[in-house]
């Protein structure tokens, strides 16, 4: 009967006091988080705390955790686990991510739980005898996976949280065990990936059923519920050792996978130092390598900051042109210089100086497109399924998390018996220096495969303070389009004075140096396109870009917005 229940019924908020030691009572039919009846809320203003993420149920879980006395870190843990159940395309325990935060005491935190290359990996592992790249292997199936980092990341986050981990994981267990209704978008997405789930698994995972999925059907994930329960009982060892680890290694042995028990046991999340820079009176904090996000954002923002062009306003040809040229130049450095800083000396300082930035823009010609061939080459393009969570709590903690399996549903291989999808993050390495992979990725030695190394990312979770006070929490999925989406969302707020809702939903454009073209979303204005074409830009229409989640704290209110492009939704109180 459950799978006939429609999800398009307004959720009823329960205002009853619930003890901090109870979680399950608020999950279920008619409860504050009702997996059978929920709606999307695209923007709201709250007084105390707010969450924005890719799925209404996960946002509701996060808000409820904070209502029960948890802080934004508790909510961040619970939301990521809930997304691993309700948003399997990108929410995950088989992938990795980055968390950047400012605590209420002003302490900054950057946790890197990016996947790593397995011990048996090597630089040529995706090349055939003739040295030709075998992209099918880096993108699909068991050999495409790096060693997952998400669970280690959640436990690294726990020291900043307040509640017991057992409580934080319980909503995800309930959602996996008791099921939740699919939105129409998710049902369609599972249907269009059915052929891959069949191809890359030799059993029938929970995502496959005989008939097509419909919005309103219930998805049950009993194996995933058992895995989450092992993590609840044993902590990180419930994933990296024992039964779950054995399930992963057994899955690898069914085919060409190379992740070993040793790889899993060795995995460690790392604490990094955030990249920070000033834009006017805003202090912006981004993620450092192994993400390219923070440094690319710094370069783009600094390249436009002093220009009179940006002052011409939103969608003016002048502001749009200078933003495109900043994007082109920032991306030109990416492939050559960026990689895992534990394996490669990344010249971060040099890339961020005012002298370097103004030199990069010295050949900018107003009203005329530059040519990427004249700007130092280098480009990495990644697939676009990832997911972002923005959270703010009443204590003043700001938490910005971007997490990923890489492609939609990662490698498409589900760990049999454990019920979760593995990532295909190995494809974010440069498969062969100088050779483009299926997504157009070109890289050099900085991002070549080495055992234990983290693959270069574009993920760009960001927090902003103004006068030392919390101001903005923002991020998005979207592969290489991530930094340009965050750049435009921030410029829309800081320069063009938009509300968060407008800032994230405006049509976007993206230039990544190579190919030398500007990608525009379907609703990008035709007249602006024409003007840019007259300047010499090649404009290519494409599908929507990213799904940005933004929180803007001003005048003691918390304005929160979820992207119109997906099932994304906000919650708070
Ligand atoms: N796999 C997407 C990214 O890390 O950029």
> Mean pLDDT for each consecutive 10-residue tract of the chain (573 residues)?
35 35 79 96 98 98 97 98 98 98 98 98 95 92 98 98 98 98 97 98 97 98 98 98 98 97 98 98 98 97 96 98 96 85 92 92 94 60 74 98 96 98 95 63 78 96 96 96 97 98 98 92 98 98 95 97 98 98
pLDDT of residue 208: 98
Question: Could you tell me if 423 and 410 are in contact, meaning their C-beta atoms sit under 8 angstroms apart?
Answer: yes
Angstrom distance (rounded) from CA 67 to CA 7: 24
pLDDT of residue 437: 53
pLDDT of residue 337: 85
Angstrom distance (rounded) from CA 451 to CA 122: 7
Helix (H, G, I), strand (E, B) or coil at 408: coil
pLDDT of residue 383: 42
Q: In 3D, which of 191, 199, 195 has the Cα closest to residue 217?
A: 191
Distance (angstroms) between ligand 1 centre and the Cα of 482 equals 9
Question: How crowded is residue 92: how many other Cβ atoms within 10 Å of its Cβ?
Answer: 30
Active-site pick, 386, 404, 465, 484 = 386
Question: Could you tell me if 301 and 352 are in contact, meaning their C-beta atoms sit under 8 angstroms apart?
Answer: no
User: Ligand 1 within 6 A of 406 CB?
Assistant: yes
Distance (angstroms) between ligand 1 centre and the Cα of 116 equals 13
Q: Is 403 a catalytic residue?
A: no
Question: How crowded is residue 274: how many other Cβ atoms within 10 Å of its Cβ?
Answer: 19
With DSSP H G I counted as helix, E B as strand and the rest as coil, what are the percentages for the chain, rounded to 5? 35, 20, 45
User: Ligand 1 within 6 A of 404 CB?
Assistant: yes
Angstrom distance (rounded) from CA 523 to CA 540: 13
User: Ligand 1 within 6 A of 423 CB?
Assistant: no
Angstrom distance (rounded) from CA 271 to CA 311: 37
Nearest CA owner, ligand 1 atom 3:
457
Structure tokens at 398: 């700001």
User: Ligand 1 within 6 A of 382 CB?
Assistant: yes
User: Ligand 1 within 6 A of 228 CB?
Assistant: no
Q: Which atom of ligand 1 is nearest to the CA of 407?
A: 1
Residue 374: exposure state from Cβ atoms within 10 A (0-12, 13-18, ≥19):
exposed
Angle between helices 72-86 and 56-67 (to 10 degrees): 150
Nearest CA owner, ligand 1 atom 1:
406
CA atoms within 13 A on the CB side of 34: 20
Structure tokens at 373: 């061939």
Q: Which atom of ligand 1 is nearest to the CA of 384?
A: 2
pTM of the model as a whole: 0.94
Angstrom distance (rounded) from CA 45 to CA 47: 7
User: Ligand 1 within 6 A of 479 CB?
Assistant: yes
User: Ligand 1 within 6 A of 140 CB?
Assistant: no
Q: In 3D, which of 423, 420, 416 has the Cα closest to residue 203?
A: 416
Q: Which atom of ligand 1 is nearest to the CA of 459?
A: 5
Q: Which atom of ligand 1 is nearest to the CA of 480?
A: 5
pLDDT of residue 540: 95
Residue 242: exposure state from Cβ atoms within 10 A (0-12, 13-18, ≥19):
middle
Phi-psi region of 69 (alpha: psi -120 to 50; beta: other; left: phi over 0): left
pLDDT of residue 436: 57
Angstrom distance (rounded) from CA 143 to CA 319: 44
Angstrom distance (rounded) from CA 475 to CA 563: 11
Angstrom distance (rounded) from CA 291 to CA 8: 38
Question: Could you tell me if 399 and 72 are in contact, meaning their C-beta atoms sit under 8 angstroms apart?
Answer: yes
Q: In the 8-state DSSP scheme, what is residue 27? A: B
């Amino acid at each position: 009967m459950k799978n006939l229940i429609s999800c398009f019924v307004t959720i009823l908020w329960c205002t009853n006091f619930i003890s901090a030691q109870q979680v399950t009572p608020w999950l279920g039919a008619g409860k504050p988080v009702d997996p059978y009846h929920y709606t999307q809320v695209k923007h709201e203003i709250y007084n105390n705390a707010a969450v924005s993420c890719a799925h209404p149920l996960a946002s509701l879980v996060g808000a409820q955790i904070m209502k029960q006395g948890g802080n934004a870190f508790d909510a961040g843990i619970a939301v990521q686990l809930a997304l691993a159940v309700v948003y399997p395309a990108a929410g995950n325990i088989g992938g990795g991510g980055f968390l950047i935060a400012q605590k209420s005491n002003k302490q900054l935190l950057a946790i890197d739980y990016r996947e790593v290359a397995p011990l048996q990996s090597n630089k040529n592992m995706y090349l055939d005898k003739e040295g030709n790249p075998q992209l099918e292997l880096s993108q699909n199936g068991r050999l495409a996976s790096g060693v997952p980092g998400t669970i280690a990341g959640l436990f690294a986050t726990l020291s900043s949280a307040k509640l017991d981990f057992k409580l934080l994981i319980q909503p995800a267990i309930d959602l996996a065990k008791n099921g939740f209704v699919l939105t129409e978008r998710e049902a369609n997405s599972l249907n269009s990936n059915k052929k891959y789930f069949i191809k890359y698994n030799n059993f029938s995972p929970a995502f496959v059923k005989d008939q097509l999925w419909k919005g309103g059907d219930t998805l049950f994930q009993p194996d995933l519920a058992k895995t989450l329960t092992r993590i609840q009982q044993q902590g990180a060892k419930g994933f990296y050792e024992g039964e779950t680890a054995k399930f992963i290694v057994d899955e690898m042995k069914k085919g060409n996978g190379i992740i070993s028990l040793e790889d899993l046991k060795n995995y460690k999340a790392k604490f990094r130092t955030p990249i920070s820079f000033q834009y006017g009176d805003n202090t912006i904090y981004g993620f450092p390598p192994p993400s390219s996000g923070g440094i690319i954002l710094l370069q783009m923002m600094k390249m436009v900051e002093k220009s009179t062009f940006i002052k011409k306003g939103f969608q003016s040809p002048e502001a749009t042109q200078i933003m495109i040229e900043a994007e082109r130049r920032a991306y030109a450095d990416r492939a050559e210089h960026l990689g895992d800083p534990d394996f490669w000396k990344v010249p971060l300082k040099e890339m961020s100086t005012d002298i370097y930035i103004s030199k990069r823009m010295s050949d900018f010609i107003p009203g005329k497109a530059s040519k990427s061939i004249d700007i130092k080459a280098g480009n990495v393009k990644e697939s676009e399924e990832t997911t972002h969570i923005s959270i703010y709590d009443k204590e003043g903690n700001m938490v910005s998390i971007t997490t990923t399996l890489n492609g939609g549903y990662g490698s498409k291989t589900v760990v049999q018996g454990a019920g979760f999808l593995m990532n295909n993050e190995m494809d974010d390495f440069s498969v062969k220096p100088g050779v483009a992979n299926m997504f157009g990725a070109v890289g050099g030695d900085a991002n070549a495969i080495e055992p234990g190394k983290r693959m270069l990312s574009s993920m760009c979770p960001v927090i902003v303070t103004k006068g030392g006070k919390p101001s903005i929490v923002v991020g998005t999925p979207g592969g290489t389009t991530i930094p340009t989406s965050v750049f435009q969302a921030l410029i829309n707020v800081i320069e063009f004075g938009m509300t968060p809702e407008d800032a994230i939903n405006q049509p976007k454009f993206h230039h990544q140096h190579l190919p030398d073209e500007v990608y525009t979303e379907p609703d990008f204005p035709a007249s602006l396109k024409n003007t840019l074409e007259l300047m010499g830009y090649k404009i290519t229409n494409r599908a929507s870009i990213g799904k940005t989640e933004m929180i803007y704290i001003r005048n003691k209110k918390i304005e929160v917005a979820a992207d119109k492009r997906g099932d994304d939704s906000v919650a708070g109180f």
